Structure 1
Amino acid sequence: MEEYRGKSVFGGIAIGKICVYRKGEQQVKRVKTEDTEGEMQRYTQAKEEAVRQLKTLYEKAVKEVGEANAAIFEIHQMMLEDDDYNESVENIIRTQKVNAEYAVAATSDNFSQMFASMEDDYMRERAADVKDISERILAVLGGGAKSTVNTEEPVIILADDLAPSETVQLDKDKVLSFVTVHGSVNSHTAILARTMGIPALIGTQIPLDAQVDGKLAVVDGSNGAVYVDPDPEILSEMQRRRQEEEEKKELLQQLKGKENITLDGKKVMLYANIGNIKDLATVIQNDAGGIGLFRSEFIYLEKEEYPTEEEQFKIYKTVAETMAGKRVIIRTLDIGADKKCGYFEMDEEENPALGYRAIRICLTRPEIFKTQLRALFRAAVYGNLAVMYPMITSLWEIKRIKEIAEEVKAELKEQNMEFRMPEQGIMIETPAAVMVSADLAKEVDFFSIGTNDLTQYTLAVDRQNPKLDEFYDPHHPAVLSMIRMTVENAHRAGIWAGICGELGADLSLTKEFLAMGVDELSVSPGRILPIRKIVLETDVEEYKRKKNAD
């Protein structure tokens, strides 16, 4: 037996044969030619065919993994139309009098090296995209070998890394798990694994050759391990754990339709966090009581220019109608910090987490904010829609938001457009907001605690810095005290308070949150039923008595 370690991006157990994914080899030779126009024509035709292929891949990906995850193929189409890329290919063909294949390969190397050397993480990731589109053109030009997985049974896919165009072409019914040598937690492979709900590891130092190809293996996604030719004891243990996981899933399904009420009669709202309308199926599938966080910034991040009022209205309306009367809380634009959007043309900041972001952008660029509010107020007619504002730190911000909202109402009335004023809430995600939460609660309909940023700002720890992982402690007594204080001040003012940050899904704290009086937990859809199980089995008053006794 051989054991290899990697970084987990999705848990679970997979047992099956390994299939080493081999990329098609594109052998490129430098060939001198006098027919530069002929080579230019070959390149243009190959590029058009590559664009056609990408359109087909986009349509396939939308059906399988949703619009957000399919957007990469639209980006690749745009990259193929990039003037700098095309001018480079053309220049090499004409000045060096060489074949189109060599010009494409040379441009690919130059551009990917350029991107890889950049400091910005987003731009560095574009290096892989350049290679991917170039490989596609080379395959068209030379009828090169295609990357494939030939198998009749479901397998564990092992690869150096997988490009978006490669993952989307895989037969998902034949994939038990992904294991890659390279990649990141935000790579397309990782995103796809989470979407499919299958175990996946990255950064796994495992040989990509006949030494492992075709051999039986076990992927332990929870503990970041791969066992090749597992010992009988390991195999038996993993089979037992896999069976237990399946049984737990089946038992949780029996909780569908049940109210979220504790043994002593306390009710809690269990809502779902989503990024786009493609996630609605998982919300319904997991029996969420509503949507506690719709991240509207993804509408902006997935576009190359500001989304129009009509584009936003259609999305919000669809969500409201689909949820059929269940509450849908849409967070207004939360761009900034780790969420960069090029066309906003924001300056570089030394400390973006403390910088120009979220509500600060909206209040200083009211034309953007008003467009979103108009779409939201109009969509509120079609369901139980609520709006919440991120990164609030003071009363004056709420007052300014209300002034802008009144201006939007007046405009809509003047234009005889149908609208409804939704519930208005704010996110509590800074110590400042916690400390003045008694005053803030008098101005809004609800609080939603964003524990990710609250932890970051309370502990003065950059949550994006992996070197500080051991210092980033969302269970810190100060963080929990702030949550408790926020909930108490909300209740004194007669409004409800929930949690929509990652901490809300922490099963080890569910009972503690119930004891604090948290009214709502909004989590990823897959965590709804596990939390419901704890809620149904908990006697809150008994939990408090035991805690005080200890």
Structure 2
Amino acid sequence: MRQRRWRPSRGCLPKLRSRPMSSSPLTETEVHFAGSPASPGIGFGQVVRLVPQSRPPLFINVLPHRVALEVERVKRAMRRARRHLESVKQHFREQVGHGSAYLLDPYILMLDDAVLTQAIEDNIRQHRINAEWGVKRAVDSLLASFDQLQDGYLRQRRDDIRDVGQRLIAMLSGQPMRLPTLTAPSALFADDILPTMLAEMNPANLSGIVTDAGGVTTHAAIIARSLGIPAVFGAREALDRAVEGTPCIVDGSQGEVILRPRRATQTIYLGRRAAEQRLRRDGLTSARLPAVTRDGVACHLLANIEIQSELPAVERCGAESVGLYRSEFIVSSDAGAAPDEESQYAAYRAVIAASPDRAATIRVFDFSSDTLPSDARIAEPNPALGLHGARWWLAHESVARSQLRAIVRAAAFGRARILVPRVTCLSELQAARALLDAVCQELAVTGAAAQRIELGAMIEVPAAVFIADRLARESDFLSIGSNDLVQYLLACDRGNERVSYLQQPLHPAVLSSLRVIVAAARAANKPLTMCGEMAAQPACAFALLGLGIRRFSLSPAALPSLKRALRKLSAKDAEKFVAQALTLDTACAVEACAETYLER
């Protein structure tokens, strides 16, 4: 059986390499460059370079009586910037719906951030400088402090601050940030692109995005996918060689950039684009078909969602139920306010009611100290290794109780399962169980329906892998958070383009860890679900099937392709592949082995 060709990941070769396609002069030579696929699709257009507005603001020492006026200038600029970003969010929502518009919330909230506001004011007052330099000094200082921390969550926070700082300085200087006007199909080439800037652009003639910075999980990548714009990140060499107006192809599916493509190459890529579009249409058409392998093994496909507006896509893409509802996004989409029990109850009821025949899995708040609203934030040297996930949730008992009450009450309208994130020890799961039992007893006394709700652990850190047997015995089900598990197993920040080549989901350590988890769940006779985009990759789906995983929870958009792939795969072949893969030494060898199986 012949499958779509699987290309080894960039983990095999950490350096990007260009390959000239002819011996003609450089100005006419077709050249290919490798990068990281960030948003799928194939785009054709001419190079448009986004040049940063690098002119520094004017430095002025102000007289003492002018200090208060400069502080007021900053406050006015913040109000104007907030109004502008709210307008951008509304425009973006009209383009893509509510599903991704929430991504602009952190940038709007940053304009009310007490830490940033105070830092700017302190700089103006202490150094008696103008508002522009007060913003610059404060932002530079905050960015420098973030540079000391090797943490992906903080890196995203760093981008928020940089974006807001640039906007404030532009407003104070009377030099608004200018976006290129695209009059013909164009590919935007930039060292980096701010998410808010991308949301502002008219996507009509934007056929592709190529950057040096960024990763597949960054806000810019998510926005590009929402707009359907092909994107390749981590393509430094392409940026160095691209000249304004040069014809190009951006292959966001394979992570390739082609400058000056020959006519034959254009024909090939036009055919590939048409084939991709047919596959997407066929995937939606086959969404109602059962997820059964070629040799009759049944699988279950579930959906990962963040907000209620994604619920219609759950059924449309063929998901059986919600396999992961990230409840913390209730906070993100509510202007940073901590949600009360009633607003949570309404949200959970909608999610549960959308899956009347099967249980919806609600993950309790997965907060860390740096992802909370500013008034609740605490300083930690490394939030990713601090009060995060289950640790934070259990440390805030009143918040946990309120959330559990809302979930249990909402479960009267269907079935629900509760998932505890980032479990690292058995006592965390036991404490969550005790809290859930206490809440159910309290509700029973008041006469509210309090059916028994299943409680599960999310395995996302190496410690949980090694106690998976204990967690399986204590829980009602297990889920694997593949995105974070791969990141922590390989000590590789998935948002850091410098080490993105090490993001290897088929690394022998990852496969061995997954085998341990599957064995633990099977021995305890507990359901196991793979949550994360790992299963969206054909070779990874083949490996997961061979390991014995039968439940997959992904973003709704990725489900049709996975279902189509599973229906063409053989579970017996997958098991043979895994037996061989577990003897191999590198991710590249595993990927090559998978390719031979998938091409049969």
- Please report how far the alpha carbon of residue 5 of structure 1 lies from its aligned counterpart in structure 2 after TM superposition: 5.4
**SS class of match (1:256):** helix
Residue equivalent to 2:47: 18
Separation of aligned partners in 2, 1:87 and 1:546: 61
CA contact (8 A) 2:30 2:262 kept: no
Residue equivalent to 1:309: 341
Residue equivalent to 1:348: 380
- Indicate whether 1:128 and 2:133 are aligned: no
- Please report how far the alpha carbon of residue 491 of structure 1 lies from its aligned counterpart in structure 2 after TM superposition: 4.1
Flag the 1:432–1:447 CA change in 2: closer, same or farther, 3 A: same
Separation of aligned partners in 2, 1:384 and 1:349: 40
Bigger CA drift: 473-482 or 243-252? 473-482
Separation of aligned partners in 2, 1:396 and 1:32: 57
- Please report how far the alpha carbon of residue 69 of structure 1 lies from its aligned counterpart in structure 2 after TM superposition: 0.7
**SS class of match (2:303):** strand
Q: Which amino acid aligns with 1:201?
A: V
Separation of aligned partners in 2, 1:2 and 1:383: 58
CA contact (8 A) 2:81 2:168 kept: no
Flag the 1:134–1:368 CA change in 2: closer, same or farther, 3 A: same
- Please report how far the alpha carbon of residue 219 of structure 1 lies from its aligned counterpart in structure 2 after TM superposition: 1.3
- Indicate whether 1:77 and 2:111 are aligned: yes
- Indicate whether 1:319 and 2:351 are aligned: yes
- Indicate whether 1:157 and 2:191 are aligned: no
Taking structure 1 as the reference length, the TM-score comes to 0.81
CA contact (8 A) 1:54 1:77 kept: no
Residue equivalent to 1:383: 414
Separation of aligned partners in 2, 1:347 and 1:322: 39
- Indicate whether 1:104 and 2:128 are aligned: no
- Indicate whether 1:529 and 2:529 are aligned: no
Flag the 1:5–1:131 CA change in 2: closer, same or farther, 3 A: farther
Structure 1 residues 191-340: aligned runs within 5 Å: 191-205=222-236, 212-300=243-331, 304=336, 306-336=338-368
**SS class of match (2:111):** helix
CA contact (8 A) 1:104 1:134 kept: no
Q: Which amino acid aligns with 2:104?
A: A
Residue equivalent to 2:492: 463
Residue equivalent to 2:203: 172
Using CA pairs under 8 Å that are at least 6 residues apart, name the structure with larger relative contact order, 1 or 2: 2
Structure 1 residues 401-440: aligned runs within 5 Å: 401-417=432-448, 419-429=450-460, 433=464, 437-438=468-469, 440=471
Separation of aligned partners in 2, 1:270 and 1:313: 26
- Please report how far the alpha carbon of residue 328 of structure 1 lies from its aligned counterpart in structure 2 after TM superposition: 1.9
Residue equivalent to 1:114: 141
Q: Which amino acid aligns with 1:374?
A: R
Separation of aligned partners in 1, 2:59 and 2:378: 43
- Please report how far the alpha carbon of residue 58 of structure 1 lies from its aligned counterpart in structure 2 after TM superposition: 3.1
After superposition, give the CA deviation of every residue in 1:454-495 in whole Å (9 maximum; x if it has no partner). Answer: 5566x5x31328677677654355643553454444345443
After superposition, give the CA deviation of every residue in 1:194-220 in whole Å (9 maximum; x if it has no partner). Answer: 322322134544799998334422112
Separation of aligned partners in 2, 1:452 and 1:41: 44
Separation of aligned partners in 1, 2:505 and 2:424: 20
Q: Which amino acid aligns with 2:366?
A: D
Bigger CA drift: 75-84 or 420-429? 75-84
Flag the 1:339–1:479 CA change in 2: closer, same or farther, 3 A: farther
Taking structure 2 as the reference length, the TM-score comes to 0.75
Q: Which amino acid aligns with 2:397?
A: P
Q: Which amino acid aligns with 1:17?
A: Q
CA contact (8 A) 1:272 1:290 kept: yes
Flag the 1:190–1:23 CA change in 2: closer, same or farther, 3 A: same
CA contact (8 A) 2:187 2:208 kept: yes
- Please report how far the alpha carbon of residue 106 of structure 1 lies from its aligned counterpart in structure 2 after TM superposition: 1.9
CA contact (8 A) 2:362 2:417 kept: yes
CA contact (8 A) 2:195 2:223 kept: no
Flag the 1:125–1:547 CA change in 2: closer, same or farther, 3 A: closer
- Indicate whether 1:57 and 2:88 are aligned: yes
Flag the 1:262–1:322 CA change in 2: closer, same or farther, 3 A: same
Residue equivalent to 2:178: 147
Q: Which amino acid aligns with 2:166?
A: D
CA contact (8 A) 1:490 1:496 kept: yes
- Please report how far the alpha carbon of residue 269 of structure 1 lies from its aligned counterpart in structure 2 after TM superposition: 0.6
After superposition, give the CA deviation of every residue in 1:329-368 in whole Å (9 maximum; x if it has no partner). Answer: 1122333499677666556367954x54322333343223
Q: Which amino acid aligns with 1:18?
A: V
- Please report how far the alpha carbon of residue 153 of structure 1 lies from its aligned counterpart in structure 2 after TM superposition: 4.0
- Please report how far the alpha carbon of residue 531 of structure 1 lies from its aligned counterpart in structure 2 after TM superposition: 1.8
- Please report how far the alpha carbon of residue 393 of structure 1 lies from its aligned counterpart in structure 2 after TM superposition: 5.1
- Please report how far the alpha carbon of residue 257 of structure 1 lies from its aligned counterpart in structure 2 after TM superposition: 0.6
Across the aligned residues of Structure 1 and Structure 2, the Cα RMSD in angstroms comes to 4.2
Q: Which has the larger radius of gyration?
A: 1
- Please report how far the alpha carbon of residue 71 of structure 1 lies from its aligned counterpart in structure 2 after TM superposition: 0.4
CA contact (8 A) 2:46 2:246 kept: yes
- Please report how far the alpha carbon of residue 245 of structure 1 lies from its aligned counterpart in structure 2 after TM superposition: 1.7
CA contact (8 A) 2:123 2:138 kept: no
After superposition, give the CA deviation of every residue in 1:405-445 in whole Å (9 maximum; x if it has no partner). Answer: 12112333344555544332222445665565555444433
Separation of aligned partners in 2, 1:265 and 1:208: 48
Structure 2 segments unaligned to the other structure (5+ residues): 1-28, 581-596
CA contact (8 A) 2:530 2:552 kept: yes
CA contact (8 A) 1:181 1:204 kept: yes
**SS class of match (1:427):** strand
Separation of aligned partners in 2, 1:438 and 1:210: 53
Separation of aligned partners in 1, 2:471 and 2:35: 46
Residue equivalent to 2:521: 490
**SS class of match (2:528):** strand
Separation of aligned partners in 2, 1:181 and 1:489: 41
Q: Which amino acid aligns with 2:188?
A: I
Q: Which amino acid aligns with 1:308?
A: D
CA contact (8 A) 1:462 1:468 kept: no
CA contact (8 A) 1:252 1:530 kept: yes
- Please report how far the alpha carbon of residue 521 of structure 1 lies from its aligned counterpart in structure 2 after TM superposition: 1.1
- Please report how far the alpha carbon of residue 250 of structure 1 lies from its aligned counterpart in structure 2 after TM superposition: 2.6
Separation of aligned partners in 2, 1:44 and 1:345: 22
Separation of aligned partners in 2, 1:400 and 1:407: 11
- Please report how far the alpha carbon of residue 104 of structure 1 lies from its aligned counterpart in structure 2 after TM superposition: 3.1
Q: Which amino acid aligns with 1:131?
A: G
